[in-house]
């Protein structure tokens, strides 16, 4: 269930695909775990970070990596926070990546030990998968050894909309604003770290997710409706609702994966964020799903002694 531009530069494609994978997988993981008690947050995706040791505040923005243009908003409050920051930090520093380096990472998309998709699914599922990609004009012989989760994401993404420009990326927009205002950028982790996370999901499990995603996409509208609900929750700036996307069903694999995907990454980011805050006023943008919950970035920063204050959006989507 359940964020980029034309394919001229491979950086946005790989980076945003990784980001979209993180969002989708986190929603799948959240779906399969029980809700735990957590600090209730005000409805806002923009937060001011302050501390007695800091001469100036920094800002934390929750984003959706890939979002329909109709739900995208950038109000004056975002602009004010951005203009009053001296550097920009995101999950990955897209500006520092060289396309040649990314091409060298293509090997990390392949399964080990010469495994193929056909080895991991039934004959019927394999026919469904190959037929789907053939109809997209992608010869499956070229995709056989790609890790199933990457193919799963291509199924989940609306690729046609990427080319038509009807989807927007907060990360790409922020990168453009940083370049225009000559602000330095940095990342809280590397793309290698993000991609390596998916190796914690067994290939057989990934392959089942791929087959089920194709059947779901072609057989009903539930997945699309769930996506729309996530986008509406973001537009309403309801971090709690986004975090609560869960059901009673439990899945041990996704529960363990979720600990790596969300909770552990949040904890890893805190010392990196603290270092940035001490350097200079920083505009920090990470996926909105990372902010709420017991181990969300906001509660973790508060536990570290920082004051996080929601900034009320007076203009923008859903503020009438």
- For residue 54, pLDDT over 50 is answered with yes
- Looking at the chain, the whole-number percentage of residues with pLDDT higher than 70 is 73
How many beta carbons lie within 10 A of that of residue 110, not counting itself?
A: 13
Higher-pLDDT residue of 87, 68:
87
Higher-pLDDT residue of 282, 255:
282
pLDDT for the residue numbered 194? 77
Q: Please state the pTM of the whole predicted model.
A: 0.80
3-state secondary structure of 151: helix
Query: Residues 222, 216: contact at Cβ < 8 Å?
Result: yes
Higher-pLDDT residue of 166, 85:
85
Distance CA 3, CA 231 (A): 10
For residue 238, what are its two tokens? 């309801």
pLDDT band for position 12 (50/70/90)? very low
- For residue 10, pLDDT over 50 is answered with no
- For residue 132, pLDDT over 80 is answered with yes
Nearest by Cα to 24 from 64, 83, 55, 52: 64
- For residue 32, pLDDT over 60 is answered with no
Higher-pLDDT residue of 7, 308:
308
pLDDT band for position 30 (50/70/90)? very low
Alpha helices in 244-311 (DSSP H): 252-258, 265-279, 297-303
- For residue 53, pLDDT over 80 is answered with yes
- For residue 60, pLDDT over 90 is answered with yes
Domain residue ranges of the chain, discontinuous segments joined by +: 10-110+166-209+224-310
Alpha helices in the chain (DSSP H): 10-31, 76-83, 99-104, 123-135, 148-156, 159-164, 170-180, 191-197, 203-219, 222-235, 239-243, 252-258, 265-279, 297-303
| Residue at token pair 């993404």 | 157
Q: How large is the average pLDDT for residues 292-317?
A: 90
Higher-pLDDT residue of 93, 4:
93
Mean pLDDT score of the chain: 80
- The pLDDT tens digits for 165-200 are 577 889 989 999 999 999 999 999 987 787 777 788
- For residue 295, pLDDT over 80 is answered with yes
Nearest by Cα to 66 from 144, 172, 139: 172
- For residue 110, pLDDT over 90 is answered with no
């Amino acid at each position: 269930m359940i964020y980029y531009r034309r394919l001229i530069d491979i950086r946005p494609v790989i980076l945003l695909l990784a980001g979209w994978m993180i969002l989708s997988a986190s929603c799948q993981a959240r779906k399969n775990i029980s809700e735990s008690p957590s600090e209730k947050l005000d409805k806002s995706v923009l937060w001011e970070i302050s501390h007695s040791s800091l001469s100036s505040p920094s800002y934390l923005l929750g984003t959706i990596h890939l979002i329909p243009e109709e739900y995208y908003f950038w109000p004056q409050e975002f602009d004010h926070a951005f203009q009053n920051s001296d550097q920009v930090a995101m999950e990955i520093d897209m500006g520092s990546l060289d396309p040649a380096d990314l091409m060298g990472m293509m090997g990390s998309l392949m399964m080990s030990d010469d495994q193929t998709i056909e080895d991991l699914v039934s004959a019927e599922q394999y026919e469904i998968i190959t037929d789907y990609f053939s109809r997209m004009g992608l010869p499956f012989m070229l995709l056989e050894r790609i890790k199933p989760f990457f193919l799963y994401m291509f199924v989940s993404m609306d690729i046609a909309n990427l080319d038509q420009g009807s989807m927007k990326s907060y990360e790409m927009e922020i990168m453009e604003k940083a370049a225009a205002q000559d602000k330095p950028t940095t990342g809280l982790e590397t793309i290698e770290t993000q991609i390596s996370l998916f190796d914690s999901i067994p290939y057989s499990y990934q392959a089942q997710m791929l087959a089920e995603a194709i059947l779901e996409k072609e057989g009903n509208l539930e997945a699309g409706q769930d996506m729309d609900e996530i986008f509406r929750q973001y537009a309403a700036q309801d971090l709690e609702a986004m975090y609560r996307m869960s059901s009673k069903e439990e899945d041990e694999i996704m529960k363990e994966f979720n600990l790596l995907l969300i909770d552990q990454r949040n904890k890893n980011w805190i010392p990196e964020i603290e270092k940035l805050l001490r350097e200079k006023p920083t505009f920090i943008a990470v996926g909105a799903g990372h902010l709420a919950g017991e181990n969300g970035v906001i509660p973790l920063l508060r536990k570290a002694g920082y004051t996080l204050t929601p900034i009320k959006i007076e203009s923008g989507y859903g503020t009438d």
